[in-house]
Structure 1
Amino acid sequence: MRELTNLNWRDTPFGSSGQPVERRIRRMAGIATQWADNGGEPVLMAAAMVFVPVKLIGSVPVTVKTLHYGYQLFVAERAQDTREMAARVDQVLVQARKDAAAVAWHNALDDLHSLAAAHPHGPGIQGMTEAWQPPRGKQRGITARIDTARDVGPDGLLAETAQAGGLPLDERLRELQEQGRIQQAFAELTAGTADPDIVMQSMAAGALAQALTAAFLGGRHLDLLTWTTAPSVYDAINTVAWGSLPGLFFTTSFS
């Protein structure tokens, strides 16, 4: 497994207890996972979490030039990494359930079901699954949750939800989210027929785009984020994560 992040305190993404001065900064999370099929067994190829600063009161205007967000990516280097990756996601979910201003996820329960199979009894996965069961109104001590498939809609692919919500995705990022492309990445990774760094960057970029798109759509739906001109997800990734994903920004193809 490979981890990519820009967090200074990666074990406490919603705020560091080691800071000399406690700052009242709230962060909402956008979460996404990408899965391949290995003979009927789900394989976690990539998991992405973004942490977007929001205000205690009011909405944050989103522009690519002013947006600064944290991200954490777990990317498979082999099919056997699924359990380790699911365990790392579980650690983030333990904190997100109580410390995030909100959690945005597309088809959350589907992903949580697969995560639970890979990491049974994980407290973060279990807790978030229970919190996401209907009815999903406000619950004391539990962060707000928004499923961009069901709460924003339409209930289909995230790219379709984004398009309907006035947040069109760059074609390069749409391609990296297609199930056929994820399955191809799995085949290339296991067969060793492609540069593993480029394959892993493509999976990381696709998952990061999904997490950031969910955060944008969910944040706007909850009035935590707002924009006049729809932000470019591609440019938002380029601005913050270009150093981790040079293959996305300096080549035209991942194949």
Structure 2
Amino acid sequence: MRDISNLLWPEAPFGAEQRPFGRARDMLTAVAIDWAVQRGGEPLPVGAAAVYLGVRRHGNAYEVNSDTLSIGFRTTVIDTPDELPELLAILDRTLTRARRQAAILAGHRLGGDLARILDRSRVPLRGAAGVIDVWAHRMTKTRGLARMVDTAVEAATTGADLDMPLPATPVALPTSPDESAQGCRRVLARALAIGLTAAVHTGRYHWEGQFRVREVTDRETWDLLPADTATQPVPPLCR
């Protein structure tokens, strides 16, 4: 399994000292899950990513662009089905924290993904179950919980100009380190695209032109993953 993050403490993503934010601020958490279609079997979750975007809980939108946006993230991809319980445990802890500590929790058809995951899991997943409990009623404000946004429904007509689509496409289990790295980038890019769409929908972000999601993903993972031979590497920004 490949599990990478640019956070100093991935298990405490809302800490004030977390890179790249360095101070306490409200966060939008976006979650994406990739699925592999097994021959003669049920779809298997093979990758998951969470992206953390700094937002204002109230007030004007941040003007952002793909050259300067800083994100926090964790992205995980399994190599064999035996590693599925560990992937689900990481995802469940992410959802547990985001449900209570994030200002906004975003996903693309996340309710359906989590329902399938709960059906597959042999152990209770309290974070996933807690999110499902409120996802179907996410238009109702609940004190103490993150605002939920499904980018396939209420944000479907937001019009965020991105260089990639939001829906998941079937993938395969990695068979090499390069494929594992590509899987990490792929699910991370989709989580970022979901987060950006939710940020526009809720009035937290605004930008001009097309936002280059893949470029940001390459820049943020340049020191954590081997170079993607399919694209030119993007040099990091000075932090």
TM range (shorter): 0.7 to 0.9
The structure with the greater share of residues assigned to helix is 1
Unaligned runs of 5+ in 1: 155-160, 190-195
Q: Label 1:118 to 1:14 Cα distance change in 2 as closer, same or farther (>3 A).
A: farther
Q: How many residue pairs are counted as aligned between the two chains?
A: 226
Matches within 5 A, 1:152-231: 152-153=155-156, 165-169=160-164, 178-179=169-170, 182=171, 185-186=172-173, 189=175, 196-231=176-211
Counterpart residue type for residue 34 of structure 2: Q
Sequence identity percentage: 27
1:41 aligns with: 42
Post-superposition offset of 1:136: 2.8
1:29 aligns with: 29
**Which of residues 149, 153, 168 is equivalent to 2:152?**
149
Post-superposition offset of 1:36: 1.0
Q: Label 1:58 to 1:15 Cα distance change in 2 as closer, same or farther (>3 A).
A: farther
2:63 aligns with: 61
Alpha carbons 2:16, 2:24 under 8 Å: kept: no
CA distance in 2, matches of 1:17, 1:245: 24
Matches within 5 A, 1:78-117: 78-117=80-119
Q: TM-score, normalised by structure 1?
A: 0.80
CA distance in 2, matches of 1:24, 1:16: 4
Per-residue displacement from partner, 1:79-128 (whole Å, max 9, x unpaired)? Answer: 22112101110001110001111011001111111221233421111110
Q: Label 1:16 to 1:252 Cα distance change in 2 as closer, same or farther (>3 A).
A: closer
2:142 aligns with: 139
> Superposition RMSD on alpha carbons, in Å?
2.5
Alpha carbons 1:32, 1:210 under 8 Å: kept: yes
Alpha carbons 2:135, 2:148 under 8 Å: kept: yes
Unaligned runs of 5+ in 2: 233-239
Counterpart residue type for residue 240 of structure 1: E
**Which of residues 220, 225, 229 is equivalent to 1:240?**
220
Q: Label 1:85 to 1:210 Cα distance change in 2 as closer, same or farther (>3 A).
A: same
SS in 2 for 1:51: strand
Alpha carbons 1:167, 1:230 under 8 Å: kept: yes
CA distance in 1, matches of 2:198, 2:17: 27
SS in 1 for 2:54: strand
Q: TM-score, normalised by structure 2?
A: 0.85
Alpha carbons 1:64, 1:239 under 8 Å: kept: no
CA distance in 2, matches of 1:107, 1:222: 17
CA distance in 2, matches of 1:69, 1:129: 26
Post-superposition offset of 1:226: 1.1
Q: Label 1:218 to 1:132 Cα distance change in 2 as closer, same or farther (>3 A).
A: same
